[in-house]
Structure 1
Amino acid sequence: MMEHISVLLHETVDALAVKPNGYYIDGTLGRGGHSLLVVEQLNEGHLFAFDKDQKAIEESSKRLEKYLNKVTFIHDDFKNMKKDIEELGIEQIDGIMMDLGVSSPQFDDASRGFSYRFDAKLDMRMDQSQLLTAYDVVNTYDYHDLIRILFQYGEEKFAKQIARSIERNRAIKPIETTFELVDVIKQALPMKVLSKKGHPAKQTFQAIRLEVNGELESLKQGLRDAVNMLSVGGRCAIITFHSLEDRIVKEIFNEFSTVEAVDKRIPLLPEQMETPSYKLVNKKPISASEDELAMNNRSHSAKLRVIERVKE
C-alpha cells in the first residue's frame, strides 16, 4: 500500500483548536491522517468519522486502532451528517473538517477507474454500493447532458466536441475503459490542445467523477449543515482542490459571516446593529508550505478555509 500523505494536515487540525473534551467530525475520513491528529488530543472527547467509501473506513480503523473507544465510524455521505449525528443524540459539534475530492489511495487504486493514468473499467464510484458508474454516464447520457456536465463540472472549453466524439464512438460499441475514453477525448481535441502541458482528459475525468458522486451538491448541503451544527467557539475547516469546490465554500462561508447591509441613513445605536454569528478565521485561503509542496504533489492546488461560530 502506498503511503498516504494528508494534505495541509497540521494547518487543518491546528485551525480546529481541539478541546480535549470536545465533539469533532471528520466528514471525509480517507486514510485517517487528519482524524488521527485529532483523536491524539482527545481525553473525554469523541470523533465521528464519515466516509462514503467502506474501504477507507476499514483501512483507517487499523490506523486508529489505539483510539477506537474515542471514534465512531459512519459509512455515509457527509451531506447526511446532521441527521446521522442527531440520531446519536448529539446536537452541537466543536469542530468539523473535510478534505474534499478523491483521496490519493482512490486515485492510485487502478481498479477504481478514477485515473486516466491506469487502464481500468469506467467506474469512479466513491461508494461502491451505489448503482450509477462512470460507464453509465459515458454510455447513456444524451448529448446535451454530456455537454452540461463537461462544461459545468469540468469547465471544459471543448465540451461540445468531446460530447460529439463520445456519442459517435459509443454508437459503434460501448466505451468501457479509462484508456478507451482517453482516446475518444483525444479524437475531439485540436492539435494545439493535445500538445499543451497537462493531460487532455483531466477536465473530462473530473466532470464525470463529480457527476457520478454528486460531489458539489453534497458539498452545498453538507457544508450548510456543518456550519449550523457548530457550538459557540466551534470551527469548520475545509480543504478544496479545485475552483468549483473553493467557490462554493467561499460563498457559503461569506453568507454565514456577513449580515444584511442596513441603510446608513437610519440612526442606530451600536447595540442595535446586527452582528454576524460567524467570523472567517482566515480572510484568504491557506495554501501548502514550500516543504509540503516539495513532498506532496497533490497539495499544489489545495486551499484551506476556516469559519468560527462566535454567538448563538
Structure 2
Amino acid sequence: MRTNDVSEDAPADRPTAQRHVPVLLARVLELLDPALTTPDAVVVDATLGLAGHAEALLDRHEHLTLVGLDRDPEALRLATERLARHADRVHLVRAVFDEIADVLDDLGLGPVQGVLFDLGVSSLQLDETDRGFSYARDAPLDMRMDPTTGPSAADVLNTYAPGELVRVLRDHGEERQARRIVEAVVRARRRAPLRTSAELVALLEQALPAASRRTGGNPAKRTFQALRIEVNGELDAIATAVPDAVDALAVGGRIVVMSYQSLEDRIVKRVLGERSRTTAPPDMPVVRPEDEPELALLTRGAEKADETEIAANPRAASVRLRAAQRVREAA
C-alpha cells in the first residue's frame, strides 16, 4: 500500500499485516489473475513494501513465482518474514524498480506474466517517524527510501542553489508559491541549516499567503512531496521502469500500475498509451504486424477507489490505477 499524502499517524509497532492494508487489492488480483494461471508463471512486484499484494498473489496462485523489488532494507526484512511460508517461490531483491530488467536478467527469469507497481511512499516509510516523510510529526528531514545512501531532504534544502530549489518545488510539487518559499528557505539557512520537519512546516506557515494555506489541503504537502521525489529520483525511475516492465512481459502478460499523484500518473498514462497505439503512418493502407499495438488497455482512463474502500483505507483516496495486457511481441 502506497500513498503520497503523508499526514496520517499509524503505529509502527503493530504486526506487519495489520500495518499494511493493500490498496485496491481485489481489483489488482482481478486484473492480474488471468495472466497467472500457467504453472511456470512469474510476477514482479516492483514496489514490494510490506508485501500485502505479494502475499495475496502467492496465496492465490500455488505455482506462482514472485520477484519482489524494494530499495528499503527494512521493507525487505519485514517482507521476508511475511512471505516466509512461500520462500521457495520468492526472490526478494534490494533494488530500485527501474532496475527491473537487470534483476530479471540476473535471475534468469523472463518474459514474465505480470508486473505490479504501487508507487509513492510505503506504509513502512510512513509509519517510521524518524524517516522524515510526514509533515504531521517532527523528525529529521531525511525522506530517503533507502536510508543508507544519497543526499537527504535536509541536504537538498541546505545546499541547492535557489534556482534549483525553485525548479524542484515547481516540477515535483506543482507549487505555485515556489519562489516565495525558496526565498524564505534561503533566509533561514543563512542563520542555521534546516534540519527537522517541524522547522520546515513552521517556515512554510510563515512564508505562504493566507489564501494558499486555506485551499488544497495541508500547505506543506506539496513541498514535502517535491523534496521526496527529488531525493529519491522517483519520476526518472518511473519513466524508465514502466517501459522496461512492458518489455519484460510475455504475450498475454499484464501490467498494473497504481499512482497517487498527477505527476506519476501522467508518465504511466503516456507510456501505456503510446504502446497501445499503432506505429503505422496515418496514410498506410495496410497495417503491418510489426506496427500493430503492443498493448491493449484494460482500464478506461485511471480507475479510483470507491467510497467503501476509502472508508476502510483512507490512504486509497488518491489512488489512480491503470492496467494493460501485452498482445504481441515487440518488433
Common fold by TM > 0.5: yes
CA displacement at 1:105 relative to structure 2: 2.5
The equivalences for 1:81-92 within 5 A come to 81-92=100-111
The equivalences for 1:123-138 within 5 A come to 123-138=142-157
CA displacement at 1:131 relative to structure 2: 2.4
Aligned to 1:234: 253
CA displacement at 1:216 relative to structure 2: 0.5
Aligned to 2:5: none
Aligned to 1:285: 302
Equivalent position amino acid for 1:19 in 2:
T
Whether 1:310 and 2:330 are equivalent positions in the alignment is: no
CA displacement at 1:197 relative to structure 2: 6.0
Aligned to 2:37: 19
RMSD (CA atoms): 1.6
Cα offsets for 1:142-175 (capped at 9, x unmatched): 1000000100000000000001100000000010
Whether 1:187 and 2:206 are equivalent positions in the alignment is: yes
Residue ranges of structure 1 left out of the alignment (5+ in a row):
none
**Percent of aligned positions with the same letter in both sequences?**
38
Match of 1:86, SS state, is helix
Aligned to 2:128: 109
* Distance across 2 between alignment mates of 1:260 and 1:227: 16
Cα offsets for 1:243-278 (capped at 9, x unmatched): 0000000000011111235334x543x777942121
* Distance across 2 between alignment mates of 1:263 and 1:50: 40
Match of 1:301, SS state, is coil
Matching residue within 215, 237, 244 for 2:263? 244
TM-score, normalization by structure 1: 0.95
Contact persistence 2:256–2:322 (CA under 8 A): yes
Q: What is the aligned length?
A: 310
Residue ranges of structure 2 left out of the alignment (5+ in a row):
1-12
Contact persistence 1:20–1:42 (CA under 8 A): no
Give the direction of change, closer, same or farther, for the CA distance of 1:151–1:61 in structure 2 (3 Å limit): same
Contact persistence 1:19–1:41 (CA under 8 A): no
Whether 1:299 and 2:289 are equivalent positions in the alignment is: no
* Distance across 1 between alignment mates of 2:175 and 2:52: 33
Match of 1:47, SS state, is strand
Match of 1:263, SS state, is coil
Match of 1:40, SS state, is helix
* Distance across 1 between alignment mates of 2:289 and 2:142: 56
Equivalent position amino acid for 1:7 in 2:
V
Aligned to 2:95: 76
Contact persistence 1:161–1:189 (CA under 8 A): yes
Give the direction of change, closer, same or farther, for the CA distance of 1:175–1:277 in structure 2 (3 Å limit): same
